[in-house]
Structure 1
């Protein structure tokens, strides 16, 4: 008698990972990456602001003067203002840029003008949100470049916010918001958009993969573009925010006085220290951001 054939068990379907878009990264990653980068490059940013505000011309000499008068620690004057600025302005701009790309349907192969439009949208929002942090940062960094009788002598960023509101009114925290928004728009349309563009173009070649070499190259190019595009608004922003007194917040007055005293090339004053500061900052921001994203992917199991 033939043995009965045992029933065949139905195959259990093993769920396969779906290939789709990754879930969005935490909104604060951009601000955290920018804070880390700005902390490392703070001495260069401090020197740039003092050159733009005081009219000095030599970056190295300015740094030596700071060390002579305040020691090495003086190169980190106002770092609490830098942290406040990055965790308001930079956090907002990276978040708004990602959201703007979603609205526009932008992807890796999008043309530069679409990415730049997303940068303009992000910069318009972040420039307003981050303006109080900008005012505090510029004043803290520029204080020791002034004569003692003209210094603000803020203890830290929170003391600066409190005293500005108490002594000058809350509206003073929006001093220079016009040039700051313009600079923010230019920065995001040039730095963020050009990084995405250069990265996508590099990945289309046979020489680059999605790794640190590609990220470094794309961010180097983005830093040079951003420095040149943003220099005029950056100079005006620093001069207006660092000023005080009636009529000192007028963008027109600042332009007229600077043109009369220094000529039209004043808008590129401090370009070299700006490039020297922005280049490593841009590289550090994107290298750090890409690594933070990899950590998130590793935690999610999507690496």
Structure 2
């Protein structure tokens, strides 16, 4: 067990080195049989020289292939991304919701304020109802966008493709994610007893715009978060495959997901605090916007308040990243294999 862990850590270090120094990768996708008329599933590596001592073992790892000129390819990728993303989002939210509740309550509490430990599952049902379409929408945009950008951009700019696809997916899915987050966090802080009551009373008191309270701060947090998390994860997967000379297994996908989530969670904690404060303030409008929120927090609570909830947030996103990406890759693999069997039949 110890030797296996040490080997995994060595591979991760080598992966970071590969990601840092860059690796020349071809945009043309090669199938497991070496037929360049076919393309692998979106995550597959695009490699120029299949006889390279490191690259060759990666080809033939059982990746799933579809015809590049198939007009239904985009719809297949879209469908599989919607299903896999929705499943992964549901699993993470259901498993780790109490940690998210604690994080929210810590961020909202003022100095000396007590953290309520009861009702840690408050708002879970309504949140799951919003997470499923939001996650599906994110990946329905992310995967096809990533695929197209990897085809048109020079191979050395693969990180740009992942950054751009993550940001675009986050922007589009925010249409669903923001009202879901508003209702969830207000229930987590004890303002409402049920999701239907929350929606009804928010609209009655604040208008329909109340459902999008903190929309700007949400984008300020989530666009860099989504872009960085998925870029770090995708780049680590590419480097890890080359370092390991094989495809990744489920625990390795989970490990890279945890690492990407934890790092990104730390970097975006101040943005998350601002977003939370703006979303839960309600009709009182204690803060007039992002800049006023920052100034008020710094003036009344000090700079340390911007890092409130970092512990549970990093724990939540780190564990969540391991579960999310592990489930995501497994779901994509199962769906892709099923698609291949149907295509052959």
TM-score (norm 1): 0.79
Whether the aligned pair in 1 keeps the contact of 2:81 and 2:143 (CA below 8 Å) is: no
| Residue in structure 2 matching 1:217, options 240, 255, 258 | 255
Runs of 4+ residues over 6 Å off in structure 1: none
1:91 aligns with 2:110: no
Q: Does 2:73 match 1:54?
A: no
Name the CA shift for 1:297/1:121 in 2 (closer, same or farther; >3 Å). Answer: closer
1:172 deviates by 0.5
8 Å contact from structure 1 (residues 116, 189) kept in 2 = yes
CA contact (8 A) 1:51 1:57 kept: no
Name the residue aligned to 2:147: 102
| Equivalent residue number for residue 80 of structure 1 | 125
Cα shift readout 1:25-48 (whole Å, capped 9, x = no counterpart): 242321221111111001101100
Q: In structure 2, which of residues 329, 339, 345 is the aligned counterpart of residue 290 of structure 1?
A: 329
Q: Is the 8 A contact 2:86 2:136 kept in 1?
A: yes
Q: Tell me the alpha carbon deviations over residues 211-242 of structure 1, each in whole angstroms, 9 at most, x when there is no partner.
A: 11320221122112210222111111111111
Task: Kindly state the Cα deviation for residue 98 of structure 1 after the two structures are TM-superposed.
Answer: 1.4
CA contact (8 A) 2:150 2:158 kept: no
Alignment partner of 1:137 is 2:192: no
Correspondence for 1:178: 216
Match of 1:235 among 259, 273, 278: 273
Equivalent position to 2:96, from 38, 41, 44: 41
- Higher mean C-alpha displacement, 110-119 vs 163-172: 110-119
* Coordinate RMSD, CA, aligned: 2.7
* Worse overlay, 209-218 or 81-90: 81-90
Query: Paired residue for 1:198, among 236, 247, 250?
Result: 236
Q: Could you state the TM-score of these two structures normalised by the residue count of structure 2? A: 0.70
Q: Deviations over 1:104-155 (max 9, x none)?
A: 2369975323311222222222234421111011111111xxxxxxxx3332
Deviations 1:234-291 (A, max 9, x none): 1111111111234335223321221112222322211111111111111111111112
Aligned equivalents of 1:208 and 1:260: distance in 2? Answer: 53
Q: Which runs of 5+ in 1 are unaligned?
A: 1-16, 144-151
Deviation of residue 84 (structure 1)?
Answer: 3.2
1:279 alignment partner in structure 2: 318
Please, which moves more after superposition, 283-292 or 104-113?
Answer: 104-113
- Aligned pairs for 1:4-19 (under 5 A) are 19=38
Partner of 2:40: 21
SS in 2 for 1:191: helix
Separation in 1, partners of 2:121, 2:263: 27
Structure 2 CA distance, aligned partners of 1:34 and 1:218?
A: 17
1:241 touches 1:249 (CA, 8 Å); kept in 2? no
In the alignment of these two chains, the number of paired residues is: 268
